Structure 1
Amino acid sequence: MNNHYQTIILGGGVSGLSFARTLQKLDPGHDFAVIEQSSRPGGAVGTHQENGFIVELGPHGFLDNCPESQQLLKDIGLDHKCVKAPLSKFVRYVYLNGKLNLIPQTPRKILMAPLISWPDKLRILGDLCKPPLQGEPTVAKWVDYRFGPALLPYLDAVFTGTYAGDFNRLTIDSVMPGVRSLEKEYGSVLKGLLARMKAARKEGKVNNRQGLPAMTSFGDGMHTLVTTMSSSLSQGENLFVNSEVTSIDRTSDGWSVTTATRSVSTTNLVLCLPINSTLELLAPLDPELPLKSVPQTWITTVAFGFTDDVVIPPGFGFLTPEQENRFLLGTLFSSNMFPDRTPKGHVLIETLVGGRRHPERLALDDKTLTQKALSDVSDILGITKLPVYSRVLRPTSGIPQLEQNYPQLLHWRDEFTRKNPGLFICGFGWGGIGLNDMIKTSVRLAGELADGCARKMDAEIKKIYF
C-alpha cells in the first residue's frame, strides 16, 4: 500500500465497486485504492452453490429499469450474460385471508382485480381531497390516511418484501420521498402524478419504455456481478482486503485513513460503507451528528429443493402480511425465475424468516428453523413430500431500516460533505437499500469526483412492485 492516493474508497461492496469502475472509466489514470474489511469484495452479495442447487446469500437480483445499472453491465461485459424474469410474465402473490392472492402489476389490472371491494377502490380517490399529512408519518399511517385501510395488508407485504421491515415504523418520507414530495407540492399524490404526466407530454419527455421491468440475475448467481466488477482491481495494488479501518481524520490537504496495520493519506475519501459503519467513523468528527446509528434487521433464508413432481405455482413467489400470523415473511419460487438453479428434475424455493418484527426467530437452531419453515410453506403451497435438499443460510449483513429522523440524517450528510470538500458518502442504506439505488448514487458521485462538478439528483418517484 502506498503512503498517499488521489482517492481512497472505503468498502468493496456494490457501491465501492461501482464507484471504482466508474472512476476507472472516466479517469483511467486516477490513482485510487479500495479498502475492504472482509476477505473478499462484494459486500452483502454472495451465492451458495451445493449439490447442484444455487441459492443467494444476499439480494436475488435487481430490476432492469435503472440506466446507470444497465450502462455498468455494458461496461463490464455482462449485458449479454444476464438472466431475466420479466414482471409482465411472472405473477406474484400475497398470502391473505388464508389463500394466495394473485397481484397484477398494471394499474388497470389492479383496478379490476377482486383484491378489495369497489367501495374501497373508490375510497382511493379520497386522496384527491385530502390535505398533506403533517409531520413524519409512518408508511401505515400515511397510506391509511390517503387511500384507506383496505390497502394496508398489501402495502405491508410490499415493505416486508423490500426492507424485511415494519411499515408501522418505516416512515413515508424515508422510503418514498418522491411520492411524499408529490403530496406536499400538489396536495394529492394522484394530482401530482397527473401533473407530472401532463408536463412530460408537453416537454416531449414521455418514457418510451414498453412494458414492465424484469428481475435480472446471472446463470451462476449474483456473485457473478461482484466478481466481474472487481476483476479490474489487483489485490495489493488498488484493492486491499482483510483491512479494517479504525479511524479517519481531516488533514490540511485531505484525509488520513488508519487501518489496523498502517496510516495512509488521500486527497479524496469515499465512504461506500453500510450506513452504520459510516456513522461510527464520522461520529468523532462531528458532535452534531443527528443519529449515531439506524435500526437494522436481519433475515435468514431456508432453501428447499424438491423433485419436480412437487408442483410450485407459476410466478415469482408470495409475501405474507403480519396479520396472517405466519412463520415466514415470504417465499421465492427460485427455479421458476431462474431455471438453471437446480439439478435436472428438481425445483427450488427459498423461504425468508425473521425481519424487523421477529428477530427472535433468528435465534432458533438450524433444525428448528428448517422444521418450522417447511411446515409453513408446505401448508401454504399444499406440498406433501419432503425435500431432497435443505439449507439454512444465515445473514452476514443487516438491512438498514429507514425510520424516524432518517431524512434529517440525509440532510446532515449533504451539509457535512458540502463543508468537507473531497468527502463523498454513499453505500448500503444511504438513499435506499436496493442494488440499483447503490449503483445509481455511486456512479453519480464518481462522476462528480472525476469532473469536479456537482450533479443534482431529484427524489425519485419509485413504482411499487410486489
Structure 2
Amino acid sequence: MTRRVVVVGGGVAGLATALAVRDRARSAGRPIEVRLVEGAPRIGGNLRTLHEAGYTVEWGPNGFLDNVPATLGLVDRLGLRGQLQPADAAAARRYLWRGGRLHLLPSGALSFLTSSVLSLPARLRVLREPWTRPKPAGLDETVDAFAARHIGAEAARVLVGAMVSGVFAGDSRQLSLAAAFPKMAAMEAGHGSLVRAMLARGRERRAARRRLAELRARGEDAPELSRPGWSPRTG
C-alpha cells in the first residue's frame, strides 16, 4: 500500500522536509506519495528568480560555493548536476541599494576606504576590528550582535544584514551566530579577531580553490519538482 504524506509549506524548510521523507521511504523500500501544499501561487518561499527587461533579479539566495561535498551531494540526489554552472564573472561586482541609489560593494581594503556604502565614521570603526573585546563566556550571540561588536552597528546592519538576507533569506538580528556561521565563532575563539584569524589562515584560504556555482533552472523551473513521488500543489 502506498503511503501518502502531506507537507504544508513550500519554502526551503518544506522542500527539504519533503525531500527527506521521500528519500527515507525509498531507502526503506516503502511506496510513498509526497504531496507538498503551498498557499502562495508559487513554491520556494523567499527564493525567487525574476526575469524582467533583460535582467535576472534574485529575491533571495541563488548560489553556493562548490567546495562543500555535502552540497554537491544534494545536487546529485536531486539529479541536477547537469544544471550546475559557474556563476557569471559579473557576479563579482556586487551592489547594495541604500539611500535611494546603488553602491558598488568594495572588493579590497583601498576600495573599502573610498566606498560610499558606509559613512566615514562607520568605515573607520571597521578598522578597529583587530582590537575587538571578547564576548562574555557562554553567550550565544545573534549574527547582528557579533558583527556590531566586531565592526560596528552601521556596518553590521548594512553589510552583514544584506549578506545574511542573501544567504539565509533571514534576519541577522534573530539568527544565532553559532548556528548560522560556526566558522566565524571558531575564528574568534582561536584568534580573538576576525582580521587576525584571516591573516593566520591566509595561506590555507589561498590554497583552497572554490567557485560560486548556481543552477540554470531555479525555483519553479527546477525539473526535480515534477518527478514522480514529488507532487507540489500551490494556491
* TM-score, structure 1 normalization: 0.36
**Paired residues of 1:64 and 1:216 also in contact (CA < 8 A):** no
Shift of 1:217: 3.4
Tell me how far apart the structure 2 counterparts of residues 44 and 214 of structure 1 sit (CA, whole Å): 21
Does structure 2 conserve the Cα–Cα contact (< 8 Å) formed by 1:9 and 1:16? Answer: no
- Secondary structure class of the residue paired with 2:162: helix
CA distance in 2: counterparts of 1:15 and 1:155, whole angstroms: 26
1:216 aligns with 2:215: yes
Once residues 180 and 60 of structure 1 are traced to their aligned partners in structure 2, the CA distance between those partners, rounded to angstroms, is 22
Match of 1:136 in 2: 140
Counterpart for residue 62 of structure 1: 63
- Partner in structure 1 of residue 81 of structure 2: 79
Partner AA of 1:187 in structure 2: G
Is 1:155 the counterpart of 2:151? The answer is no
**Which has a greater percent of helix?**
2
Aligned to 2:192: 187
The total of aligned residue pairs comes to 220
Please give the per-residue CA displacement for 1:335-367, whole angstroms capped at 9, x wherever unaligned.
xxxxxxxxxxxxxxxxxxxxxxxxxxxxxxxxx
Provide structure 2 residue ranges, at least 5 long, that are not aligned to the other structure.
Answer: none
* 3-state SS, counterpart of residue 133 of structure 1: coil
Residues 21 and 206 of structure 1, relative CA distance in 2, 3 Å threshold = farther
Residues 33-432 of structure 1 mapped to structure 2, 5 A cutoff: 33=32, 35-38=34-37, 44=45, 61-63=62-64, 65=66, 66-74=68-76, 76-82=78-84, 85-86=87-88, 88-90=89-91, 91-104=93-106, 109-113=107-111, 114-115=114-115, 116=118, 123-134=125-136, 135-152=139-156, 153-162=158-167, 165-197=170-202, 200=204, 206-209=207-210, 212-218=211-217, 221-225=218-222, 227-228=223-224, 231-233=227-229
CA distances 1:48-91 after superposition (whole Å, capped 9, x unpaired): 999xx9999985733352433434444554333346642x3233
In structure 2, C-alpha distance between the alignment counterparts of 1:48 and 1:100, rounded to whole Å: 20
Q: CA deviation at 1:208?
A: 2.7
Normalised by the length of structure 2, the TM-score is 0.62
CA distance in 1, matches of 2:22, 2:55: 27
Larger Rg belongs to: 1
SS at match of 2:82: coil
CA contact (8 A) 2:85 2:215 kept: yes
What residue is the counterpart of 2:30 in the other structure? 31
Q: How many Å separate the matches in 2 of 1:216 and 1:46? A: 13
C-alpha contact 2:6 2:37 (8 A) present in aligned 1 = no
Give the superposition deviation at 1:9: 9.2
Aligned to 1:291: none
**Kept in 2: contact 1:84–1:217 (CA 8 A):** no
8 A contact 1:47–1:222 mirrored in 2 = yes
- Three-state SS of the structure 1 residue aligned to 2:134 is coil
RMSD of equivalent CA atoms: 4.9
Runs of 5+ unmatched residues, structure 1: 234-238, 243-394, 397-466
Residue 37 of structure 2 aligns to a residue whose secondary structure is: coil
Q: CA 1:110–1:32 in 2, change beyond 3 Å: closer, same or farther?
A: farther
CA distance in 1 between counterparts of 2:35 and 2:55 reads: 26
Q: What is the alpha-carbon distance in structure 2 between the residues aligned to residue 117 and residue 79 of structure 1?
A: 43
CA contact (8 A) 1:44 1:58 kept: no
Q: Deviations over 1:135-179 (max 9, x none)?
A: 334433332221234523222333344455554444434432331
